[in-house]
Copies of this chain bind each other. A is one copy, B any other.
Amino acid sequence: MNKDLRDEINRLHAHVCSGLADPIRILILYSLAGSKFSVTELAKTLDIPQPTISRHLKVLRDRDIVAAEREGQSVFYSLRDHRIIEALELLRGVLAGSLENQGILAQSAAGSPISEQ
């Protein structure tokens, strides 16, 4: 099989997909879909310890999925590319379809965005 393709998919996984491999990180991304937030705000909103949030933000930062900018003592995080939310919305649609097929009604329809503030 094509080695370039394999390489690109390895990059795709290493740089992007592995960033989505934890529910807390997905929560963070959805939180940032509408506007930027500081670490403390995220920790408070999500009710998750600050060091845990920081560690996950580092994962997202290392993959260039989020951007960090300091404002005074706070560091505000934002999404670098909104397409990551679009991708998650598609995957939500996949989930909804799968639950439908199982006869279990998905709690919210796949079309309605989960956040956007």
Q: Please report whether the interface of chain A is mostly helix, strand, loop or mixed according to DSSP.
A: helix
Inter-chain contacts of A22 with B (CB < 8 A): 13
Work out how many copies of this chain go into the complex. Answer: 2
Residues of A in contact (CB 8 Å), total: 50
Cβ-defined contact, A94 with B87, below 8 A: yes
Distance in Å: Cβ of A23 to nearest Cβ of chain B? 4
Is A1 in contact with B45, judged by CB distance below 8 angstroms? Answer: yes
Of the candidates B14, B16, B98, the one whose C-beta lies within 8 Å of that of A94 is: B16
Q: Show the binding face of A for B, using Cβ within 8 Å.
A: 1, 4-18, 20-23, 26-27, 30, 45-47, 63-65, 80-81, 83-84, 86-88, 90-95, 97-98, 101-102, 107-108, 114-115
